């Protein structure tokens, strides 16, 4: 799981152009959206949906589903581990 968490952090940093950030800067359990944590927005949710499909073959139908999955890197990693198709 730790390996997947680290992999996800790297992919999120790259996909969302989080300039200057390293995996160490992202707390596994910190919220990705909202004013705390990474402060990501609605376009970032959509880009993360693409990230899941591209890398793990997971298709989310709506941004609302995404908001659940993208609560934190730890939640995201659990979801990916349980649902990945590649």
Partner 1 sequence: MTKVYCTGCGVVTPVGDTPEAVFQAVRTGRSALRLYQAGPEPYVASLLSREGFDGPSFFEDIAVKAARKALEQAGLEPSCPRVGLVLSTIKGNVELLDREDVSLAASAARIAAALGMSTPPVVVSNACISGLAALLQGMRMLRDGAYDHVLVVGAEVQSRFIVSGFQSLKALSLQPSKPFDAARDGLNPGEAAAAMVLSGEKKSPWELVDGAVRNDANHISGPSRTGEGSYNALKYLLPLVNREKLAFVNVHGTATLYNDEMEAIALDRAGLLDVPVNALKGIFGHTMGAAGILESIVSMLACDKGVVLPTRGFSELGVSRPVRVSAQEMPTQGSEFIKLLSGFGGVNGALLFRKGGAQ
Partner 2 sequence: MKHVTIPSGADLSALYRQLAGDYPKFFKMDVLSKLGFLLTEMLVADEPDRFRPREDRAVLVFSREGCVANDRHYAATLADFPSPALFVYTLPNIVTGEIAIRNKYEGETSAYVLEKYDEKRLWALVKEAFQDRITQSAVVAWIDCLSDTAWQAEAWLVTREEILK
| Residue choice 62, 82, 85, 86 for contact with partner 1 (CB under 8 A) | 62
Query: How many Å from the N-terminal Cα to the C-terminal Cα in the chain?
Result: 16
Kindly indicate which of the ranges 5-13, 21-29, 32-40, 41-49 contains the residues binding partner 1, using the contact rule CB under 8 A.
41-49
1 scored as a contact of partner 1 (CB under 8 A): no
Q: H or E segment at 64?
A: helix 63-69
Q: Are 41 and 69 in contact (CB under 8 A)?
A: no
Binding site for partner 2 (CB under 8 A): 15-19, 43-44, 46-47, 50, 53-54
């Amino acid at each position: 799981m730790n390996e997947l968490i680290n992999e996800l952090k790297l992919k999120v940093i790259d996909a969302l152009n989080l300039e200057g950030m390293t995996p160490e800067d992202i707390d596994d359990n910190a919220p990705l959206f909202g004013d705390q944590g990474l402060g990501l927005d609605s376009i970032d949710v959509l880009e993360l949906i693409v990230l899941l499909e591209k890398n793990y073959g997971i298709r989310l139908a709506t941004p609302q589903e995404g908001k659940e999955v993208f609560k934190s890197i730890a939640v995201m990693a659990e979801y990916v581990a349980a649902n990945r198709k590649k």
